Each structure stands twice: as C-alpha cells, then as structure tokens.
C-alpha cells in the first residue's frame, strides 16, 4: 500500500511543525530561568535607585548587571549541556552580543538626548526592554511578545501615574513582571 | 543502507508526531510525558495509548520513576525506532519528489 503525494507532503509538514513546536517549548524552558534572574536584577537595581543617592546608582547597576550576565552564561551553558550539543554553536555569544548592543543603544541615546531629570533615565530601559521582548516575540516566540508588551505598558503606567515612586514601581512591576514572565516560560 | 518504505504504524498522525518529537531530541534525555503532550497537542489518554503501541513495536522505551514523591513518565526513541522513523521520512520525501510514483 502506498500514499499520495499530498498525503506525504502533509505528513512531512506535520513532522516539521511538531519539531518546531518542540524547539519553541525548549527555548521557553531555557529562557524562563534567565528571565527570572533578570527580574531579580531589575528589582534589586531599581530598589537600589529608590534608596541610594544617585552617585551610587552606577556602581549598583554595574555589580548587578555583572551578576546577571554571569548567571545568563551559566544557565545557557547548562541548558546547552543538557541538550548535548543540540543548541546551535555560538548561540551564547550571539545572545551576549545582543545584550551589549542593547546596552550600547541605551548609553548612546542618553548621550544624545541628555535627559534633564532622573525619571526619564529610569523608565527608558523599561521601554527598551519592552520593545526588544515584543520584537523577539513577534518574530520568533509569541510568549515574549506578551511579556514585552506587559513591561512596556507597566513602564508607561508608572511614568504617568506613579512618578513619585517610580523606582519602587519599576522594581516591583518591572522586576516582578520579568520574574513572573520567566516562571510562565519555564512552565511551557 | 535501508530501503525507504511506508511504516503503517508510524504513519498514524499522532504516532507520527510522537516519533517526530522524540527524534528531535537526538541524544538528549528522554522526554517527559507532560512535555510530549504539549508538543504533540494530544490528550492524556490518546498519548498514553499511542505510546503503548509504539512501545509494543519496540520503537519507544518508556521509563517510570519518581522525582521526590511525584511520579514521572518519560519516553525515548529506541535505536530501532530511530531507524524506522528515518526510513519512513525517506519514504515520504521520495513520494513527494515523485521518485516512488504516486499510488492513489
């Protein structure tokens, strides 16, 4: 017994969509804990901005970002080890290059626009993070779109309605949002 | 080298998805039941019954253990299952490319 060409094509399409779905779910499970780490970094960083004088913010973020980047590298390597070479080679470095590009973009924007008060500088990373996650979500992995949109919206809500408590708002809603988003990805 | 041929057991839609999902894991750990369910978008009962069929054919190995107090069921392709899946995919490609002719 044989099958028709269209039946065979449909079966091959089923195989392709199943493996694609598997890859997507795996990427969520790898990305979830990393997003949770960055949620904690955000929460700690913005809390520091709420309680420390501005001249110490830079050092606080430097330390926290270094911890976040180190944790990202460790978690990515562990995930790649679990997949025993299943992940594409060099993916970790591409991720790190993307992170540095985004940080360079934020630094360049500050240099060009020179915010006159601290509040715009505080919300800008939230808007950029929301944009990046939404873009990744639209292009590759839909769950990131919802996380990005939530961070973007939460940042704007903080800007318009909670400016006196902006640092704590960004710590709780931004950091908390990323953490909850990471949990959601991990459970995928 | 094995000849590409239709494997009626694998060709059933859900079993094809199960085999594809497990084949994509390559040398990694066996896949948990809940994850397989999400990837194949099957119900518990359906997935369990088709996994049992594949296990009986020797294509899939099912292991059951506990993580703490929580029971865990995992499935992995056997070497025989991996070969059978590749042969089946080769057959499908041959049909699509018209190598084997169109039967119906």
Cβ partners under 8 Å of residue B44, min gap 6 = B37
Q: What is the pLDDT of residues B21-48, one digit of tens each?
A: 999 886 657 899 999 999 999 999 999 9
- pTM confidence score: 0.79
Whether B39 and A18 lie within 8 Å, measured CB to CB: yes
Task: Answer whether residue B102 shows pLDDT above 90.
Answer: no
**Identity of the residue in B11, B23, B39 whose CB atom sits nearest the CB atom of A25:** B39
**Interface confidence (ipTM) of the complex:** 0.85
Q: Which token pair is A103?
A: 């940080």
Question: Is the confidence at residue B101, as pLDDT, over 50?
Answer: no
Domain assignment present for A9: no
Q: Is A18 among the domain residues?
A: no
Q: Give residue A97's pLDDT.
A: 84
- A182 located within any domain: yes
Q: Measured between CB atoms, which of B11, B26, B41 is closest to A86? A: B26
Chain A residues contacting B via beta carbons under 8 Å: 1-5, 7-9, 11-12, 14-15, 18-19, 21-23, 25, 82-86, 188
Q: Is A6 a domain residue?
A: no
- Segments forming the whole domain that contains residue A28: 23-186
Separation between Cα atoms, residue B20 and residue B16, nearest integer Å: 6
Domain extents for chain B?
A: 8-96
Partner A contacted by B86 (CB < 8 A): no
**Shortest CA distance from B92: residue in chain A:** A8
3-state secondary structure A117-138: CHHHHHHHHHHHHHHHHHHHHH
Residue-wise pLDDT for A53-70, tens only, equals 988 988 999 999 899 989
Least Cα separation, residue A88 to chain B (angstroms) = 14
Contact A18 B104 (CB under 8 A): no
In a domain, A120, yes or no: yes
What whole-number distance in Å separates Cα of residue B52 and Cα of residue B58? 10
Q: Which long-range contacts (CB under 8 A, 24 or more apart) does A159-166 make?
A: A159/A119, A159/A123, A163/A119, A165/A50, A166/A119, A166/A122, A166/A123
CA-to-CA distance for A10 and A18, rounded, in angstroms? 12
**Phi, psi (deg, nearest 5) at residue A120:** -60, -35
Query: Nearest residue of B to residue A12 by CA position?
Result: B92
Phi, psi values for residue B37, rounded to 5°: -65, -40
Q: In the predicted model, is pLDDT for residue A185 greater than 60?
A: yes
Test the B interface: residue of A1, A5, A80 with most B CBs within 10 Å: A5
Looking at the 3D structure of chain A, how many domains does it have? 1
Among A19-28, B55-64, B94-103, the least confident range: B94-103
CATH architecture group of domain B8-96: Orthogonal Bundle (1.10)
**% pLDDT > 70, chain A:** 93
pLDDT of amino acid A149: 95
Q: What is residue A96's predicted lDDT score, i.e. its pLDDT?
A: 75
CB contact under 8 A, B21 and A22: yes
Please, are residues A45 and A63 in contact by the beta-carbon 8 Å criterion?
no
Flag whether A4 is in a domain.
Answer: no
Q: For residue B102, how many C-alpha atoms fall within 13 Å in the half-sphere facing its CB?
A: 10
Give me the DSSP letters along A85-99: T-SPTTHHHHHHHHH
Asked if the Cβ–Cβ distance from B89 to A3 is below 8 Å, we say: no
Q: Is residue A96 situated within a structural domain?
A: yes
What sign does the CA torsion over A177, A183, A185, A188 have? Answer: negative
Q: Is the pLDDT of residue A11 over 70?
A: yes
User: Who's near A93: CB < 8 A, 6+ residues apart?
Assistant: none
For chain B positions 2-61, those within 8 Å of chain A (CB to CB) are: 6, 8, 11, 13, 16-17, 20-21, 23-29, 35, 38-41
Contact B23, B85 (CB under 8 A): yes
Q: Which residue has the tokens 């991720």?
A: A95
């Amino acid at each position: 017994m044989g099958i028709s060409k269209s039946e065979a094509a449909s079966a091959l399409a089923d195989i392709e969509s199943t493996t694609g779905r598997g890859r997507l779910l795996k990427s969520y499970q790898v990305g979830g804990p990393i997003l949770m780490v960055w949620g904690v970094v955000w929460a700690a960083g913005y809390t520091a901005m709420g309680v420390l004088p501005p001249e110490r913010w830079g050092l606080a973020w430097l330390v926290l970002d270094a911890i976040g980047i180190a944790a990202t590298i460790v978690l990515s390597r562990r995930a790649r080890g679990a997949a025993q070479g299943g992940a594409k080679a060099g993916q970790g470095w591409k991720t790190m290059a993307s992170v540095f590009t985004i940080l360079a973009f934020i630094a360049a924007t500050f240099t060009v626009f020179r915010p006159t008060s601290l509040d715009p500088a505080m919300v800008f990373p939230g808007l950029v993070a929301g944009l990046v996650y939404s873009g990744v979500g639209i292009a590759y992995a839909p769950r990131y779109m919802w996380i990005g949109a939530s961070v973007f919206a939460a940042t704007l809500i903080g800007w318009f309605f909670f400016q006196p408590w902006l640092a704590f708002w960004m710590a709780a809603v931004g950091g908390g949002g990323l953490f909850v988003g990471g949990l959601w990805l991990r459970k995928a | 080298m094995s000849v590409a041929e239709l494997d009626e057991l694998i060709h059933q839609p859900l079993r094809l998805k199960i085999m594809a999902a497990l084949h994509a894991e390559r040398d990694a750990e066996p896949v948990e039941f809940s994850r397989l369910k999400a990837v194949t978008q099957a119900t518990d009962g359906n997935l369990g019954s088709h996994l049992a069929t594949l296990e009986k054919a020797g294509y899939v190995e099912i292991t059951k253990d506990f993580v703490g107090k929580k029971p865990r069921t995992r499935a992995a392709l056997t070497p025989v299952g991996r070969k059978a899946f590749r042969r089946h995919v080769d057959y499908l490609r041959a049909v699509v490319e018209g190598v084997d002719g169109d039967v119906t």
